[in-house]
Amino acid sequence: MKRKKEMENLVVKLDSIKMINFKNIVKSEISFSDKNKILNTVGIYGQNGSGKTAVVESLNILKSLLMNIAFPKDLYYYINVVNNDAKLDYKFIFNKDKEKYIVKYYVKFTKNVKYNSEKNIEEKIVILSEEKIKIFNIDKKLLASIDCKNDQKKISINCQDYTDSTDQDLISNDIAIATVHLSNQLSTTIIFQDMFRENIKKNTLLKMILDSMHFNAITNLFVIGMKETSLISALDNLPLTIRTSNNKKTITSGTALLNLFSPSTIPIIILDTITKELERINLVMTQLIPNMKIGYKTISEGLDKLGNPTITIQLVSIIGDAQIPLKYESEGIKKLIALCSVLISVYNNEAVCLVVDELDSGIFEYLLGEIVKILHSEAKGQLIFTSHNLRLLEVLPKECIIFSTTNPQKRFVKMANVKPNHNLRDFYYRTILLGGQKELLYNETEEYEIERAFRICQPQA
């Protein structure tokens, strides 16, 4: 219990990401801070195919690693096609009471092949060939580190905690080596494997940081890519992102998939959590969409195959006395509902980080601007998003906006020479047309050439 309370009191903030040979990024860094201060709201803008979604996907990989679940099966194709490996380097700021730590977490993925005897084919796979973590104090003095190398020919693991005055090993070599083999089998982390993390010497700085990163990934890091939002339209599922806590500091966190097309059967034990979450969501939703509330209608109760109590419910939107199945509402309203719970947590909890790809999709631009303006002004947590809607350039200050470029060696920049009286939206348009920045922000397209391409593609009679 003491260890859990310690982790809850430790706030983790994402500071930056360095990416090498990751998708269409050759070598670039993106920072979520300004003048050594972590920004609570950061928007990423740019041309299609310029690396915005790569940021979201790098954070989805981070979440998988820290939670000790398998990284994406198609990770092989995330590695730049002309290279054999990709590197991701994350930087965090940890605040615990009056203490502050800088934590750097580095991973290297390498392409490989594995023979599948059942299918008699070679499968393209990825191995985690390097994984490192370094912990510094605020003066950048190294306090602890783990360095894992796994090239399948030679395995080496080195753990150091310079704050530990005893001679006892931080972890046994046999456990460390076994963890590497498990990582290769399951396509997971080495350092955050339960077997590795739980056998690190107790009451050390290294143990506290590893446990905190694992705990925060589960309870406080939410990554919502297009895959998650497409569940709404493609599969008629509403991914209800839940993050609640009570006075006893018990945290419930995760995503509940509720069917929009037909009633959902759920364990009755989670009904109370969903009910309370809908009540929280309604406090905000009634302000975003006047007179609308979200609820559910009970269809039946029963037992699952193991004899556990279940309940079948149908999600509905409520306007006055009228109840309408939620599936008939617009995609934008469904998206707002899916995001609302975690947006509330971002506003109120400094430990929460929400990452959303194409935040603007399906949401009326004026309403979107109001939501983001409030979060920027008052949110305690972090919101990182990509967007194509330029309304937000008029809402957020220039330091909160990052633009993707056409240069794969430097994909992300902040706009230079923007004066306080400039409208950033107009300034961005002028830059696209006339240039003026060190990096090109848009690969030029010609209206005539686009029209000609459509014309020559006309089917011949």
Please tell me whether residues 256 and 176 are part of one structural domain: no
255 and 215 inside one domain: no
Per-residue pLDDT, 229: 60
- Residue 238's pLDDT band (boundaries 50, 70, 90)? low
pLDDT at 168 over 70: no
Residues 114 and 148 in one domain: yes
Residue located via tokens 């706009």: 415
Residue 368 in domain: no
How far is Cα 44 from Cα 18, in angstroms, rounded to an integer? Answer: 15
143: left (phi over 0), alpha (psi -120 to 50) or beta: alpha
Q: Is the pLDDT of residue 1 over 50?
A: no
Coil, helix or strand at residue 328: helix
pLDDT band at 131 (very low <50, low <70, confident <90, very high): very high
Task: Calculate mean pLDDT across residues 235-257.
Answer: 56
Mean pLDDT, to the nearest integer, of 407-420? 91
The reply to whether 286 falls in a domain is yes
Give me the residues paired with residue 335 across strands.
Answer: none
Boundary (domain end) residue, out of 284, 311, 329: 329
| Domain span holding position 244 | 235-329
| Token pair listed for 395 | 């809402």
Would 210 be classed as within a structural domain? yes
pLDDT at position 242 over 80: no
Could you tell me if residue 383 is inside a domain?
no
DSSP-derived letter for residue 330 is -
Q: How far apart are CA 394 and CA 373, in angstroms?
A: 10
DSSP SS3 for 217: helix
Residue 91 lies in a domain: yes
Q: Give 247 or 75, the one with higher predicted confidence.
A: 75
Residues 17 and 165 in one domain: yes
The amino acid at 215: F
Residue 262 has pLDDT above 80, yes or no: no
Domain endpoint, select from 274, 306, 329: 329
Tell which of 161, 196, 222 closes a domain: 222
Q: Are residues 200 and 247 in the same domain?
A: no
What pLDDT is attached to residue 235?
A: 42
Question: Per-residue pLDDT averaged across 24-49, rounded?
Answer: 93
250 shares a domain with 214: no
State pLDDT tens for residues 138-152: 999 999 999 999 876
- pLDDT value of position 446: 77
- Residue 448, pLDDT score: 78
pLDDT band of residue 20 (cuts 50, 70, 90) is very high
Reported pTM: 0.88
- Same domain as 195, residue 75: yes
How far is CA 152 from each of CA 110, 180, 192, rounded to the nearest angstrom? 11, 10, 19
Query: Quick one: pLDDT at residue 247?
Result: 53
Same domain, yes or no: 79 and 185: yes
Q: Are residues 67 and 208 in the same domain?
A: yes
Asked if pLDDT for residue 414 goes beyond 60, the answer is: yes
How does pLDDT run across 325-357, given as a tens digit for each residue?
888 888 888 888 878 888 988 999 899 999 999
pLDDT of residue 2: 45
Contacts of 25 (CB under 8 A, 6+ apart): 19, 51, 54, 80, 408, 411
Report how far residue 353's alpha carbon sits from residue 26's, in angstroms, rounded to the nearest whole number: 26
Would you say residue 171 lies in a domain? yes
96 and 167 fall within a common domain: yes
Domain count, the chain: 2
According to the model, what pLDDT value does residue 255 have?
A: 60
| Strand ranges in 138-188 using DSSP code E only, listed in sequence order | 142-150, 155-161
* Distance, CA of 387 to CA of 374 (rounded, Å): 17
Say whether both 77 and 209 belong to one domain.
Answer: yes
Q: For 204-229, write each residue's pLDDT tens digit.
A: 899 999 999 999 998 889 898 877 66
Report yes or no on 377 lying in a domain: no
* Residue 337 CB contacts under 8 Å (≥ 6 apart), including other chains: 238, 240, 281, 285, 294, 326
Predicted local confidence at residue 189, as pLDDT: 94
pLDDT band at 245 (very low <50, low <70, confident <90, very high): low
Q: In 3D, which of 22, 129, 28, 128 has the Cα closest to residue 81?
A: 22
Whole-number average pLDDT of the chain: 86
What six digits make up the tokens of 264?
């959902």
Predicted pLDDT at 166: 72
- Give a yes or no: residue 350 inside a domain: no
* Same domain membership, residue 243 and residue 100: no
Q: Which of 83-87, 246-250, 329-333, 359-363 has the highest mean pLDDT?
A: 83-87
Q: Closest Cα to residue 109, out of 135, 76, 132? A: 76
